[in-house]
């Protein structure tokens, strides 16, 4: 098994709950490097992981991990170079408790991970624009629609419509609709995907286990 770099955006449950079931941390032949920056100055990456992988929430502590674990801390704005040729730029998103957005550059391609974040009406977030500029793929927080947004202000989430506006302004090509409201049905997601695709050809609903080929906008098969 290959070595792994795992970058946390933040540590709300929906973003950490899979870690205890992540097989590589139990493999002694693997080096796992865990990165986080959203708690900079408040808690280290190691402390964060130790907090939630322990009784009574989990039967054992991180000591049972056989992989060689390396916990790294950074602050928003740092540029990370986890492997040769891989450059990861970081920035702050707008989310309760903080959240980090990532721009991963490798082999002449750019993938940006922008979740979770809340936008202001009729404004484009400059930090987000910087992370997604000219990106091949933007994975974006599409929890709500613009119509649903008003009573949900302050929850720290965004919409597919805002994702389209940001991608257009930044010259990004692919838009993966991601982080949907948990109450969405498959039919609603199909409808959202259709509406988004009509507005922006590179938009599509992200799926579990999905493999993408670049350029994303030309790859429309499921
Ligand atoms: Zn969150
Ligand atoms: Zn989330």
What is the reported pLDDT for 215? 76
Spacing, Cα 12 to ligand 1 middle (Å):
5
Confidence grade of residue 136 (pLDDT, cut at 50, 70, 90): very high
Spacing, Cα 124 to ligand 1 middle (Å):
20
Spacing, Cα 78 to ligand 2 middle (Å):
22
For the chain, give percent helix, strand, coil, nearest 5.
30, 25, 50
What is the reported pLDDT for 220? 47
Task: Look at strands 31-36 and 68-73 and give their pairing.
Answer: parallel
Spacing, Cα 221 to ligand 1 middle (Å):
30
Spacing, Cα 115 to ligand 2 middle (Å):
7
The per-residue pLDDT for range 146-180, each reduced to its tens digit, is: 999 999 999 999 999 999 999 999 999 999 999 99
Q: Return d(Cα 189, Cα 180) in angstroms, integer.
A: 8
Spacing, Cα 93 to ligand 2 middle (Å):
12
Contacts of 182 (CB under 8 A, 6+ apart): none
What is the reported pLDDT for 221? 45
Confidence grade of residue 217 (pLDDT, cut at 50, 70, 90): low
What is the reported pLDDT for 219? 45
Q: Which two tokens stand for residue 168?
A: 């257009």
CA 149 to chain centre: 20
Mean pLDDT of 134-151: 97
């Amino acid at each position: 098994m290959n070595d792994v770099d795992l970058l946390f955006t933040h540590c709300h449950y929906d973003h950490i709950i899979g870690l205890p079931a992540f097989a590589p941390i139990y493999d002694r032949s693997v080096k796992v490097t865990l990165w986080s920056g959203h708690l900079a100055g408040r808690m280290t990456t190691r402390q964060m992981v130790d907090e939630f992988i322990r009784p009574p929430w989990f039967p054992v502590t991180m000591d049972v991990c056989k992989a060689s674990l390396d916990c790294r801390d950074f602050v928003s704005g740092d540029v990370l170079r986890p492997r040769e040729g891989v450059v990861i730029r970081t920035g702050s998103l707008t989310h309760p408790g903080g959240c980090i957005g990532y721009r991963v550059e490798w082999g002449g391609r750019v993938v940006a991970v922008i979740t979770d974040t809340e936008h202001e009406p009729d404004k484009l977030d400059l930090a987000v624009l910087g992370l997604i500029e000219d990106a091949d793929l933007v994975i974006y927080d599409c929890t709500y629609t613009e119509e649903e947004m008003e009573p949900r202000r302050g929850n720290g989430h965004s919409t597919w419509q805002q994702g389209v506006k940001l991608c257009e302004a930044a010259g990004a090509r692919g838009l993966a609709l991601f982080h949907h409201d948990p109450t969405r049905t498959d039919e609603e997601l199909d409808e959202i995907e259709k509406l988004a695709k009509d507005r922006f050809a590179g938009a599509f609903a992200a799926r579990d286990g999905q493999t993408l080929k670049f350029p994303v906008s030309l790859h429309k098969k499921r």
